[in-house]
Amino acid sequence: MAGVSGRTVVRKRMGQLTTHVLDTSAGLPASGVRIEVHELTAPTPALIARVSTGTDGRCAAPLVAGEAFRAGRYSLTFFVADYFRSRGLALPAPAFIEDAVIRIGVAHPNEHYHVPLLVSPWSYSVYRGG
């Protein structure tokens, strides 16, 4: 990209952390799942985002992006039992999976880290998507 002075301006690519949740027991995007994101790099975990998924199972914006997205360790807490209860499922007390807590490491904060969660009342799986 050429700047006003004719020099090439190189823009640093900004990374981000995103997610989406799929309810594998119903075969649907999981709408209304509460998610909390903590940065774990400092001695005390810091809450950096509190969001819920939309009708497509995705969040309206990245969980963390730009300068706020740094190398380090993060945790994503998905409140899945609350989601299943809100759908009218009768879960045992306590639920087999109350919360799915995923801890990830970010080595390259200029990249896109996408963390999809596939969940049912009895299991979950997660992977790094694109």
Q: Which amino acid is at 69?
A: F
Rounded to two decimals, what is the model's pTM?
0.89
Cα dihedral 20, 104, 45, 112 in deg (nearest 10): -60
Q: Which helix (H) or strand (E) holds 82?
A: helix 80-86
Radius of gyration, CA atoms only, the chain = 17
As a CATH number, domain 16-120 is 2.60.40.180
pLDDT in tens, 63-86: 999 999 999 999 999 999 999 999
Domain residue ranges of the chain, discontinuous segments joined by +: 16-120
Q: Which three-class secondary structure state does DSSP give residue 77? A: strand
pLDDT in tens, 1-51: 445 556 655 455 689 999 999 999 999 999 999 999 999 988 899 999 999
